Amino acid sequence: MQTLRTVSRAVRRMVESADGWSLVQRFMLRACGVVMSDEQRYLLDARLGPVARQHGFASVRAFVESACAERPGEPYARWLVEAMTTHETFFFRDAAFWRAFDTIVLPRLFTRERTAPVRIWSAACSTGQEAYSVAMAFAEHGAAALDALELVATDVAEPSLERAREGVFSALEVSRGLGADRLARHFEPCEGGYRIKERLRRAVRWEVHNLLGSAPYPPRQDVVLCRNVLIYFGDRDRAEVVRRLFDAGVPGAFVGVGSTEVVKGRAIAPGWFVRES
């Protein structure tokens, strides 16, 4: 079992003095800006217990100490982030949002005179259902529309991105948001469930990205999606992320957030805002 690596004295003092939940709270805030309340303490054993056992730790506390002593992105730290971030997602989540995408956003994108591709960024994409929903929506407008799409999907958790790249979803996952027609049109049966067809897998570029990290946001986007994520940030971090999301768009870009999330900008439909020039 790994012992605590050589880290700063401040981090070591934090590890030695705090209980396991406090360590997780501080680490998640530092690593990816996620605010975890004391009411979520039950997640310590529920989510990290299986991870600790899988990697041979004698206790959850031992795993937490090793993970919190690492820098974000190192193996145990990455597994902690993966386990503690919420991955609730499904295809075409929130029917009203996607109706607005189909009836307002896509027609405006297609009528704009352009020589460049349509650039769309799906931020905090989890296991990829949102990004693949975008790809399906474009494919349903024809092969030329899909060929014009330049779609990047990012998440802080590499294991989630690995699943997204594979494009395999269980019967339960495809039943959430997909009708029989879309399932038959865009997926093929495979071991473990259904795999999205290759032409749609090729349409998405998957990258690790931390919304609160120093790495730049993908620039010059026509559409930016960051849905049901802002609620997990503190006020200051949320304001900074929203600013950078809008800056990632071109003038007139569409920014999509969760239906319960409100940001400054011109609203055109529930969850949809426009970046002013």
The pLDDT of residue 244: 95
Question: Domain locations in the chain?
Answer: 9-84, 95-274
Instruction: State the alpha helices, DSSP H only, in the chain.
Output: 9-17, 20-32, 43-54, 60-68, 75-84, 95-100, 106-111, 129-139, 143-147, 158-166, 171-175, 180-186, 198-201, 235-247
Q: Cα separation of 59 and 64, whole Å? A: 9
Q: Which 8-state DSSP code applies to residue 231?
A: G
Cross-strand bridge partners of residue 153: 122, 206
Mean pLDDT by 10 residues, the chain (277 residues): 43 50 84 78 83 86 85 79 77 95 93 82 95 97 92 92 95 93 96 96 96 93 94 88 95 92 85 90
Tokens in use for 128? 């990829």
pLDDT given for residue 6 in this prediction: 40
CB 255 within 8 A of CB 276: no
- The domain defined by 9-84 folds into Chemotaxis Receptor Methyltransferase Cher; domain 1 (1.10.155)
The three-class DSSP label of residue 135 is helix
Environment class of 143 (CB within 10 Å of its CB; exposed 0-12, middle 13-18, buried 19+): exposed
Q: Which of 200, 259, 260, 252 is CA-nearest to residue 224? A: 252
Is pTM beyond 0.85? Reply is: no
CATH H superfamily, domain 95-274: Vaccinia Virus protein VP39 (3.40.50.150)
